[in-house]
Amino acid sequence: MKNRLKEFREKFGLTQQQLGEIIGVSRQAINSIETEKYEPSIWLAYDISKVFHKSIEDIFLFEESERKSRAQQSRGVV
């Protein structure tokens, strides 16, 4: 999922480590979200959005992706 996490994190002057400590995840988790290797749960996305005083939609960009959604994967959609 595309996101603007790095942009907001840097704007607030936070390292990946610092942001991870604030929301209770590892630096590696923040890196994986920023590089679109990991899609956060809705609760983690919510916690991230609160740090930056933004909506989830401001940070995480819900747009069509070549990657199948979890719902599509579970239904076997090609």
| pLDDT tens per residue, range 30-72 | 999 999 999 999 999 999 999 999 999 999 998 755 565 566 6
- Asked whether 44 and 25 are in contact (CB, 8 A), the reply is yes
Domain that holds residue 40: 2-75
Q: What is the pLDDT of residue 62?
A: 83
Q: Where are the alpha helices (DSSP H) in the chain?
A: 5-11, 16-23, 27-34, 42-51, 56-59, 70-75
**Number of domains present in the structure of the chain:** 1
Q: What is the CATH number of the domain that holds 26?
A: 1.10.260.40
Q: What is the pLDDT of residue 21?
A: 98
Q: What's the length of the chain? A: 78
